[in-house]
Amino acid sequence: MPAVIRSLFAAAIMSSWATTCLAITPEEKDKVRELVKQGGEFAHSGNFVDARDRLLQALALAKVPAIALYAGRAYENLRDLAKAAQFYRMASEMPLDESLWDNDKSKTEFQLRARDDARIALMQLLDRNSAVKIQLVGKGDGTIQATVDGAVLDPSVLMYEQPVTPGSHVVAVTQGARRFSQIVNVDRLEHKAVTFDLTPLPEPATAAPNANPPTTKAAQPAPVLSPFEPQPTPSVPHSASGHSHAYSTWTAVGVGAAGLGTGVIAAIITNGKRSTLLSQGCSSDGICPKDRQIAQSDIDSHNTWRTVSTVGFIIGGVGMAAATTLWLTEPKAVTSPQIGLFAMPGTVGTQGIF
């Protein structure tokens, strides 16, 4: 901040000759001198808002690089980085007309230093801050307006990088009735390009009028069937319920077959284990003598397989019974009768399919 304050005081000191360089009235010269002085006082107290406002008023009357440079520094202290860059760039590119101050070399040198200081301030501002650069592709109709976080950018700076703080920013471009926007995340010291395509959308194609409209064909009369030709009546197809019925029948057959197969296999295994126990002196009821060392696991295995066999036969029997019932109750396809008249020489009668 001390450098900014010193620069603003320098502006106040130099305003006496800066105002003489332009073709303005004496009253306007005094106004510029007073505005620059007030801007320096506000900056010295840390009130950069009022300092900025006074310098902008002075710059509107006297377009010289030094005042634009000090306005940019006021914007930078307010952290309005885009505006600071705009005024630094304005000061660095502002033309000089030495004849306006009677070719006074000292005043020319001061303005040249102000332009150089503005270029340096702009480079330093971009180096120590993040930035976005708006790139426009294509060309549409209408005036282009660009904004960063809602702040309108001067059209003269659209081609340059705009310094921003790190974080998320909304960059938008408006042209006529079209508006484009992007949310851009910028890291610290990152410089990022944001591209917008302004190419107009193609007009929707319109169908050309048909010179030869299609002719409408006359409706053909329905064929008349002879009363002596038999009128076939289509047979009624099986409904979806018939298919479901057949599926249930075969499912019951599968369950029954699986149950019977399991029962047969388990019965064979049970019979083998029963023969083993009988050979060791056990009775047919599964009671074994206590003086024999017969493993309890053999007795338990025999009982388990006997139970599995019994359950398997039960499931098999139920499944087969259900399959038989479903098969007997399955609906049959019915063919509707077809009847017609026939005529032969000396004979008239009916014929049909029943």
- Reference 333, options 248, 253, 251, 243; nearest CA is 243
Among the listed residues 62, 3, 8, 12, the one whose alpha carbon sits nearest the alpha carbon of residue 34: 12
| Mean pLDDT, residues 183-199 taken together | 91
In the chain, the largest separation of any two C-alpha atoms, in whole Å, equals 142
Return the minimum-mean-pLDDT range out of 158-162, 186-190, 208-212, 259-263: 208-212
> What residues does 148 pair with on adjacent strands?
151, 171
- Show the tokens assigned to 326: 């479903």
Model pLDDT, residue 17: 42
Confidence of residue 119 (pLDDT cuts 50, 70, 90): very high
Read off the pLDDT of each residue in 101-127 and give the average, rounded to a whole number: 87
pLDDT digits (tens, 9 = 90+) for 36-65: 999 989 999 999 999 999 999 999 988 889
pLDDT of residue 187: 94
| Cβ atoms within 10 Å of 340's Cβ, excluding its own | 16
| Cα–Cα distance, 197 to 204 (Å, whole number) | 19
Cβ 190 vs Cβ 126: under 8 Å: no
pLDDT for the residue 158: 78
| Res 55: pLDDT | 96
Residues 170-180 have a mean pLDDT of: 89
**pLDDT at residue 346 in the model:** 54
pLDDT classification of 333: cutoffs 50, 70, 90: low
pLDDT of residue 16: 39
Mean pLDDT of 131-135: 91
Question: How many Å is the Cα radius of gyration of the chain?
Answer: 52
Angle (nearest 5°) at CA 63 between 120 and 131 = 35
The phi, psi pair for 152, rounded to 5°, reads: -75, 130
Query: Lowest-pLDDT range, 13-17, 117-121, 135-139, 306-310?
Result: 13-17
Phi/psi at 9 (nearest 5 deg)?
-65, -35
Give the amino acid at 12: A
Q: Which of 86, 82, 90 is nearest to 149 (CA)?
A: 82
pLDDT at 87 over 50: yes
Q: How far apart are CA 114 and CA 110, in angstroms?
A: 6
Buried b (16+ CB within 10 A) or exposed e, 239-269: eeeeeebeeebeebbebbeebbebbeebbeb
Q: Collapsing DSSP states into helix, strand and coil, what is residue 244? A: helix
**Least reliable range by pLDDT among 45-59, 104-118, 223-237, 324-338:** 223-237
Rounded Cα distance between 274 and 284, Å, is 8
